[in-house]
Structure 1
Amino acid sequence: MATGARPAAQNSVFETAYRKLKDSVSSVDANAFQATSFEEVWRAAEEIEEAHKARGNLRNMRRIEPFLKSLENYSKVVEILCNGTPYLPWIWAPIKLMLQLANQYTTIFDKLLEAYRQIAEVMPQFGRLQLVFQDDPNFQIVLGMVYSDILEFHRRAYKFFARKLADEQHDDELERLAEKRQEGTCEWVFRNALFQAWKGDAHGDPVLWVKGIPGAGKTILSTYIIRKLQEEGRFTTAYHICNSYTTGKHLLGEIMRSITVQFLRSNLDIASYIFENYANKGLTPSATRVKGLLEKLLQTIPSIRIIIDGLDEYPVSDQRTILNELLSLSKLASGQCRILFSNRESENINKRLNGRPTLSLRDQNADLTKDIELYVHAELDSFRHDFGDPLVDKIERQIVAKADGMFLWVRLIMQSLEQCHSQQELLDAVATLPEGLDKAYKRILDDLRDRSSDKSIRILQWIACSFRILKVHEIKDGIVFQTPGIALSEQTKLVDSFWEHCKPLIEKGPKNTLDFVHYSAKEYVLHETSGPFLDSSEAHYGLAISCMNYMNSSYCFIDPQNTSNALTIRVLRGYHGLHHYANKFWFQHLLQYAKSGDTVEDEELDEPLEEIREFWKQEPGSGAEKLKLDDTTSADKIRAQLKVLDSIPIAQGMGLDILTFQKFLSQENSSHQAPENLKSDELRHDPTHFSEISQRYQNIVRNLIHCSPDSLPEGVQHYELQSFKQTYLDSAFICRYRECPRYSDGFGSSEERHNHEKIHTKPLRCVDPKCDFFARGFTSKTGLLKHNRKYHPLPEETAPPAFEPRKLPEVVPVPSPVQIPQPAPPRVEVIPAPVVPEPHDREGPNKPATRRRVYNRAEGLRRHKLSHEDPKFFCPQEDCGRAFYRPDLLARHEFQHQREVTQA
């Protein structure tokens, strides 16, 4: 084959197909694909065949041989074309992963092998064709098209398996909680009479309340119940575990959607109904609509069990609404839907659940004591080698006796005992065991004060008062920026273990996050019982200072003196890991501090505020005047909200611009645009440079994520790139809609983000290309219908003009003198008021005079004029032939024919 320059068209096909597949897979899989040889694919196929033989379950793996051989010949032909690019391994590498994933599902595995067999049958003999057409540019384009088709097949296959795996990953949090359960514990609940009645009695009360004090193990018990019910397979089980970090106005909708999705995954036969009646119509999953769907599902799915854990962690204002809606579901389906609530007592919950069957963990003292014995015995097992059985058995008895049914208390105590390195230290620690959770927390906090007070307080401030759960690297950077005048560098960055001295009060969670060991720990450090240990006002002040200091460091992204490579290295080395959080919440922390009620006059704020002022395109506060809000009351609400910053005019002006800009982007005209258009609007209307900075930062992150080992930027080592991806990949692709919670905590791939962003768009569009709503669309069918009736009515939908009778002029007769005869008075003829004809009215001898129609919009007048012209559009349907003067009316008319055919 000719070794000259690749044709541009052919090269573009290879590049497009490669990028499309790479953007769809995780970085881990992308790296694996790049390093996979063709021999490894053969080996993987042989290993799977051997595994099937061992199980006595042969799947005829020979079906894949023709495909692999054809692919091997093809790869030899395109090898020169792909020379110097990362394209070649992506031809065969996905096959290995597809086989490994499909191997878990017999039916899917067979279909995959059959698909490979069919592809092999139509693959050309490239070796022979090369001898004849090797110098023909069209042949090279054909090679690119084959490459594109193979990669597209694997992209779709990967997407399918990603969905299957996502279904399994839905249980990741449940699995993480289940791993905390000690083997043998919680089993007593399935022997409990109240639980048995709830689980199996279709005629009893469909609701069971499991209540207990903080730290009693309610969530672990709930996860055990969920897992056991799933394993039994007799019930369709759904669950929702509430979390205090779940914020927003739609907590009820969050629960309803979670439950509905789980029901759909368990009953795929009703998926077509959901698609036709909901998804295909573009209906948004609002809480009301999902509840209506859920009620229909409950009528068709037998033996439903729903578990709701930790409702007390949600705001009090939401608890009552959620309880009312969920309890209403339990009344449906003739007792087939049964709900278990597991939570602490609270006023709202008590009002709604008192009188329902209640399993109080306080009343299960014997069962809980046995469970705690099992847990303590297992935890102390590692102590027996150093301290001997007699001493450890004695300590075990003392801990169990003081536990008082609190697993969390035991867990805190066990972790504190790990600091004991002699028998005397162990005995002293056990002799002074604190009673209850509050005293256990107090002991831990006292110890933190003695060891490293300032850093410990900052760590706890970030965890307790952040607006979302934070990752380790975000807190690590935030602590550094909290010190005025310190920039983030290799010398000032903290080590990854910076937080471990705060154990056991905090722990690492999923996706490398840091959180309190229990919700009650967060409550304690902020409550007066602890002092409070943390003052929320001071915490928000510290976080505001930290975020502002970071934002000031981000000026480098718009500083022309910084090269692209220099910025890439800064991002790669983690100097901007706090960006997504600080960019969204710096002003919210400042505002929250101001709302504390204290006089907000702090000289320490002057310097960061003056520095951050440089990011404004004009004087802070003036940008809001140029942003037109649909609702005039919104501007008044924003100004009222900012009254607490009267003493800091510059901050008040900044807040006015920021909050008005956010409101502007959430309006109808902006909030449902395509993401690309929305980002352009942000750059155009943002009173600051923050949007520009964020987009440049995100572009650099995306380039680094997609960077392969053979295309590293200058000065970047391979291990640095791998470390960066490991730290930042799982949330690198943020949602591009600013009002979304995922705007500051993104996704692991652009494909995940794309699927998420569909919920922000309006899928139902006006059919008239000239209408504004052809691009903007509607979220509901009702909105589209109202729009059509108002602006694009069918002739039969047009209401006749209202009848307004015209009053005749009143004629007052003049009396004639009787004595003087007069001739008969002339006949009075009443002439109606003159009618000015519209300029486009057709003239005709018999055309009656009409009232002049008035239009508010020029577009409306233009459309009306069309009705006076000869129709140009005709229905192609046989036996119809109806004429229309607008194409959108014809389109809607044809839709009526389609619906009639569908209904027939």
Structure 2
Amino acid sequence: MPLKPAVSTLARNTIKSAYDELDRIISPGEKGDFAETSLEDVQDAAIRFENQLAARQSLRNMRRLMPLFRGLEHYSKVAEILCNGTPFMPWIWAPIRLILRIASEYVEAFETIIKGYASIAEPLKRFEILSNAFISEPSFQQTLAVFYADILTFHKHAYKFVRRSGWVLTFSTSWGRFQRRFDNIIEDLNKHGALIDLEANARDIAEAKTMRENIQEWREESEDRVRQQDREQNAKQYESIVSWLQANETDQLAIIDSISSDTMEYQGTCAWILKNKKIVSWADEKPDTPALWLKGSAGSGKSVLCTQLVNFLKGTKTVAYHFCSYLYNSSTMYEQVLKSLILQIVRKDSDMISYVYTTYILERRSSTNTVLEQLLQKLLASMSNVPNQASYIWLIIDGLDECDAEKQIRLVRLFNQLIAKPTVPGSTICKVLTASRGPSEAMERLRRKQIISLAEEKGSLDEAIWQYVGLRLETMRPELRQIDMEDSEVEEIRNSIVKKADGMFLYARLVVDYLTSNIFYSGDEMKESVNRLPQKLTEFYQRILTQTLVGLDSRSIDRIRCVLGWIAFAKRPLKKIELLSAITFSPGDPQVRRLAPEKVLDICGTLTEESRDTTFAFIHNSVKEFLQTASTKVVITRDRAVQEHGIASITCLLSALETFRLHDLGQNKSFRVAKGLYGFLAYATDFWTEYLLCYEPSQGSRVEGSSEPLLRLAGQLTDELEKLDPTNLDKSASGELVDKRLAKLQKYGVLWKHIERALKARSPKSLEARVFKTQEEEVMRALNGGGGALENILGSELSNLDYLTLSLIEYSVNMCDFSCYGGSCEEWLALEQTLPPAAKLEMPSADMIRLANEEREVIARQSMIKLGPRVCIQNYSIPSRDGTSIQLRSYRPVETPEEELTPLYIHFQGGGFMYGSLDGEDAICARIAVGCQVTILNVDYRHTPDFAYPTQWNDAEDAFKWAHDNMDKLKCDPRKVTIGGISAGAWVAASLVLQRHLKSDLPPIAGQVLMIPCLAHVDCYETQLNKMKDPSISSYKQNEFASMFSLAELRWFTSLLKIESPDVNDLKINPGNAAPEHVKGMPPSVIGVAGLDPLRDEGLLYAKMLSEAGVPVDVNLFVGLPHGFRCFEERLSASERWDRVVKDGIRWVLSEPAASDEFCVKTG
């Protein structure tokens, strides 16, 4: 008797892996009989389902599955040798019975799944005539194993779909995404079927081998393609959902970022909350403790604790959260809380995105509060995608007391509904934590809650404050040494602060701030000052305010009140340049010529703070409450603020209209624009109508000749608007008012008409009417547009003026503000928590540099296991101009025909000119070569500290010239040479491309790809700052202390180049300082920048200048991520986008694209 053929390890592993994956997701109760289920059992079940459906008058032709059953029978006979002694074989048919039984409850799904299974029959037909002659061949066994894996993958996707909670709800909207995956599986089966035919016929062993390799490559590429299509569809539909909701996520990011910055700086001070027994119970995946109330007084650190909980939960659990803050009015609105939670939930699940898009957007449903409440509950009910298991979601709402009482009660009512859902298999259990001050009528209504009162956690808070104060005092060590303070004295002060704080973090912070801002000659003076400080927070505020106002006259005090009023009651937080502009126009003088000095903000500095995005806020919301009490020397009120802010807004608009319509466009106008006088203009344009709607005019007051400043200025604005775009008073208004508050302004005639016009242009109904006149791709884009006559006219005037002393390009550059791209994204905040502290800036030894390079090389080698066989690598050693050798390495795709000339991409590595090696760049270069089908030339220029400037620049130019002289050796097309690099490498690349353009004695360059580039020497950055609205909003300022790469690190790495007294006009080291006339006619450029990078603005400014000079530019921004984030590989989802930007960018520059009429920054 012949021996049974040996089973190849690869084939057995392929089958086992597919089996294990399906076994893992099917519940034990549903797979218990799989081992005993025969193919006949499944056929009988199919007939039984047919009879049941017929009885329900929903007959379905189950005979369509008979070819599938026959194909599975023949396949099992051929492949049984692969499954001998294992439970594997029944799993290719047993799940069909289970999936059909579940789907039979929903006829539409049942019909669709039958069609899917029926399509598998075709590639299985060949097994009817196939013999066992080839079963001993390992390659043939592997092909059979792939059939098994594909069929089980089909089962897996179908089972997961019909077993997730609420699958009937999402079936019609989400099946299309699964259809793509199923189609891909069927195509894979067909290709492997053709391979089996070829191997069985034994026509050509070499041909079969080639076909097998091609199928493997197709399989990888098709899977990538399906994933990419899913991602693109998800992104488009998600953007439409954001627009439909009219949600602005930047407010939440800004709030969280401002809170997290303190958490990051003083890590460990909040760790105690994670050990609290009630928190542990609430965070556990058990129904216990469904609701928690984190109760504490103002300044006790509730928001910081909530961010700690969010960061802790995000790593392993599903969490959605919302932070309410007086700084952002939208954050305290009931509907915005709902929208925030909905967006976070749908973002986690592509099925939910598809469902909301199809059911709500395409069906044109309005996003009313009732609709949003129902949608949130539907989403939560459908979240579980683990069959027969309950899923959990944790909701965290901070600052509930910031909302109106009615909104608080409504939110609590909603929470009660969510936590009241019964715990059943397949359901989603919702657990809620709210943080607020007490007492609270709303929170008393929260059912099944437990309370963590921070007043009762004094021991934990004292320990946390003790750590915090210790860290703060440590930063004061140099000053403390100067007054000869002993460690025992510092410890005494530390303990005194903890005792006086009495569990209030804010008080401790104020005391340490007080110590850092005052002058002491001895430790005794410092201790005495701490002991004399008032015990209550309000008394402390009063003392600070008194010190602030001492010596100021009444006019100065009124200006301080104005600043504080803007910070307290602005419609949104104002950036420094906006705040100064707002203060300037607050007196109501349209003829004002100069921006208010920054000193007015500095004086308020103890009670206010500037965040990383340069917006201003109080150090705590309790400051706002304090300033509204009659006991304070500077009282701010909402009513007065509404009038004053309305006056400032309209005054700014009047001044802008006058300035931008002047025919005498001289030095005065240029000065006013360049100095940021109109930094407040965008805010004024957005909110002037709101201030008039909120204003309560006196009885019988008129617009013309009114004694009320706001109405008088509104009348002047009306006259200007009438000249530009007259209204028709005779035309009566039809239908209900866009805003009910308009009724009180109807008596003002023309003014009322202009306000109504602006509101209608912004109203959802008007927007919706425009939306559905467009194609589907443009559906929601229009939702963010809008504006009335004033907005349109100002926009037109600003873009068409012909300045004499400040050209349009200079004007637009001078008004640049990219600070909106700052702030950490959620994914980075979570990852950042896991990173070790940054190392000190000091000169590493040669061994340390070598070890750092080896770390990069290890990561590269892991990727090269897969990429290496797909490229042909060649090393070169070429002479430099100083006689030293430069090492190069080329990567050519192996599938490129030998005789074909490919494009060439010359790559310059990053690493601050200090780190980097050829081996460390292998994966980067191979990935680009394979993805773009181009040859890569990797240049290992010489590094600091051994080689200073201009060695790196010279090496780059020498390598470039060598490449052009050796095109035959490289087998590349000299007309298709592109240059690119990362960080420091992008610096020399940008310089090389610009120098070639200016000198033209170098060979041609088809394009450049600059990723996170440095484009100006740090000591020549003034030119970049002059292009910003204000230096305080630059990325140098905003990202000064950014993770991964701070401004201090930039200065340190640059110093190693040893460029003494760099010339700001030297474009070799400062390509970013080039003027438009220098770059006009340059080749297409791709530029990628990171939002948290100090280098962000110079990259964007350079891209903007290229665009305005007529150069084709593709600009890609990675929001919320730091310099060099790509090193975290798959730990950050944006790494994949980075690779796509580079590969697509090389193809794009080689396509000879046309320049765009507008500067566009892609953020996704």
Q: Normalising to structure 2: TM-score of the pair?
A: 0.42
The equivalent of 1:105 in structure 2 is none
Residue type matched to 1:372 in 2?
A: I
Deviation readout 1:338-375 (Å, 9 max, x if unpaired): 11111112543233237621111111011111011111
Deviation at 1:192, TM superposition (A): 1.7
Contact 1:420 1:426 in 2 (8 A): no
Question: Alignment partner for residue 1029 of structure 2, among 704, 721, 724?
Answer: 724
Cα distance, 1:720–1:667 mapped onto 2, change above 3 Å: closer
CA separation in 2, counterparts of 1:684 and 1:216?
42
Unaligned runs of 5+ in 2: 1-227, 240-247, 385-390, 775-780, 802-806, 817-993, 995-1021, 1036-1099, 1108-1113, 1116-1164
Contact 1:312 1:319 in 2 (8 A): yes
Asked if residue 657 in structure 1 is aligned to residue 753 in structure 2, the reply is: yes
Question: Alignment partner for residue 284 of structure 2, among 189, 196, 200?
Answer: 200
The equivalent of 2:558 in structure 1 is 454
Question: Alignment partner for residue 576 of structure 2, among 472, 481, 499?
Answer: 472
The equivalent of 1:220 in structure 2 is 304
- Which shifted more, 522-531 or 169-178? 169-178
Residue type matched to 2:334 in 1?
A: L
Contact 1:240 1:308 in 2 (8 A): yes
Asked if residue 693 in structure 1 is aligned to residue 786 in structure 2, the reply is: no
CA separation in 2, counterparts of 1:685 and 1:372?
49
CA separation in 1, counterparts of 2:676 and 2:311?
40
The equivalent of 1:25 in structure 2 is none
Structure showing the higher strand proportion among its residues: 2
The equivalent of 1:763 in structure 2 is none
Contact 1:372 1:400 in 2 (8 A): yes
CA separation in 2, counterparts of 1:409 and 1:504?
13
Taking the TM superposition and a 5 Å limit, the aligned residue runs for 1:329-728 are 329-332=418-421, 334=423, 336-353=429-446, 356-381=449-474, 382-383=476-477, 384-387=480-483, 388=485, 389-422=487-520, 423=522, 425-450=525-550, 452=552, 453-483=557-587, 485=589, 487-489=591-593, 492-496=594-598, 498-530=600-632, 533-556=635-658, 559=661, 561-563=663-665, 570-586=672-688, 588-589=690-691, 592=694, 594=696, 602=707, 608=713, 611-612=716-717, 614-617=719-722, 623=727, 625-626=729-730, 628-631=732-735, 638-640=742-744, 652-653=748-749, 655-665=751-761, 670-674=766-770, 691-697=792-798, 719=1024, 722-724=1027-1029
Deviation at 1:246, TM superposition (A): 3.9
Residue type matched to 2:1029 in 1?
A: F
Deviation at 1:659, TM superposition (A): 3.2
Contact 2:590 2:654 in 1 (8 A): no
SS in 2 for 1:328: helix
CA separation in 2, counterparts of 1:174 and 1:404?
26
CA separation in 2, counterparts of 1:540 and 1:168?
25
Deviation readout 1:727-775 (Å, 9 max, x if unpaired): 8899xxxxxxxxxxxxxxxx999999xxxxxxxxxxxxxxxxxxxxxxx
CA separation in 1, counterparts of 2:661 and 2:680?
19
Deviation at 1:337, TM superposition (A): 1.4
The equivalent of 2:340 in structure 1 is 258
Deviation at 1:225, TM superposition (A): 0.9
SS in 2 for 1:345: coil
Cα distance, 1:566–1:720 mapped onto 2, change above 3 Å: farther
Question: Alignment partner for residue 259 of structure 2, among 157, 170, 177?
Answer: 177
Cα distance, 1:167–1:315 mapped onto 2, change above 3 Å: closer
Taking the TM superposition and a 5 Å limit, the aligned residue runs for 1:40-119 are none
Deviation at 1:555, TM superposition (A): 2.6
Contact 2:650 2:688 in 1 (8 A): yes
Deviation at 1:190, TM superposition (A): 2.2
Deviation at 1:582, TM superposition (A): 2.1
Residue type matched to 2:501 in 1?
A: A
CA separation in 2, counterparts of 1:208 and 1:540?
37
Contact 1:627 1:660 in 2 (8 A): no
SS in 2 for 1:512: coil
Deviation readout 1:789-842 (Å, 9 max, x if unpaired): xxxxxxxxxxxxxxxxxxxxxxxxxxxxxxxxxxxxxxxxxxxxxxxxxxxxxx
Deviation at 1:507, TM superposition (A): 1.1
Contact 2:292 2:432 in 1 (8 A): yes
Taking the TM superposition and a 5 Å limit, the aligned residue runs for 1:154-193 are 173-181=255-263, 182-193=266-277
Contact 2:1028 2:1034 in 1 (8 A): no
Residue type matched to 1:431 in 2?
A: N
Contact 1:434 1:440 in 2 (8 A): yes
Cα distance, 1:347–1:576 mapped onto 2, change above 3 Å: same
Cα distance, 1:358–1:313 mapped onto 2, change above 3 Å: same
Unaligned runs of 5+ in 1: 1-152, 644-651, 711-716, 731-746, 753-904
Residue type matched to 1:238 in 2?
A: A
Residue type matched to 1:522 in 2?
A: K
CA separation in 2, counterparts of 1:476 and 1:639?
34
Deviation readout 1:469-528 (Å, 9 max, x if unpaired): 212111101222234658454xx3245564132123111235321111112211221233
Cα distance, 1:583–1:179 mapped onto 2, change above 3 Å: closer
Deviation at 1:447, TM superposition (A): 1.8
Contact 2:651 2:713 in 1 (8 A): yes
SS in 2 for 1:261: helix
CA separation in 2, counterparts of 1:671 and 1:163?
19
The equivalent of 2:924 in structure 1 is none
Deviation at 1:399, TM superposition (A): 1.1
CA separation in 1, counterparts of 2:699 and 2:625?
21
Residue type matched to 2:576 in 1?
A: V
Deviation at 1:308, TM superposition (A): 0.9
CA separation in 1, counterparts of 2:357 and 2:688?
41
Contact 2:331 2:337 in 1 (8 A): no
CA separation in 2, counterparts of 1:594 and 1:533?
20
Residue type matched to 1:671 in 2?
A: L
The equivalent of 1:81 in structure 2 is none
SS in 1 for 2:431: strand
Contact 1:537 1:596 in 2 (8 A): no
CA separation in 2, counterparts of 1:174 and 1:637?
33
Deviation at 1:222, TM superposition (A): 0.6
The equivalent of 2:407 in structure 1 is 318
Cα distance, 1:584–1:336 mapped onto 2, change above 3 Å: closer
Deviation at 1:550, TM superposition (A): 1.9
Cα distance, 1:170–1:355 mapped onto 2, change above 3 Å: closer
Deviation at 1:287, TM superposition (A): 4.0
Residue type matched to 2:624 in 1?
A: K
Deviation at 1:386, TM superposition (A): 3.1
Deviation at 1:654, TM superposition (A): 5.8
Deviation at 1:531, TM superposition (A): 5.9
Cα distance, 1:222–1:578 mapped onto 2, change above 3 Å: same
- Which shifted more, 364-373 or 264-273? 264-273
Deviation readout 1:193-227 (Å, 9 max, x if unpaired): 22222222623241111110011000000111111
CA separation in 2, counterparts of 1:486 and 1:168?
32
Question: Alignment partner for residue 328 of structure 1, among 417, 420, 443?
Answer: 417
SS in 2 for 1:303: strand
Identical pairs, percent: 22
CA separation in 2, counterparts of 1:484 and 1:253?
35
Question: Alignment partner for residue 373 of structure 2, among 291, 298, 309?
Answer: 291
Q: Normalising to structure 1: TM-score of the pair?
A: 0.54
The equivalent of 2:842 in structure 1 is none
Cα distance, 1:446–1:158 mapped onto 2, change above 3 Å: farther
Deviation readout 1:437-477 (Å, 9 max, x if unpaired): 21121112212221542332221011112222212111101
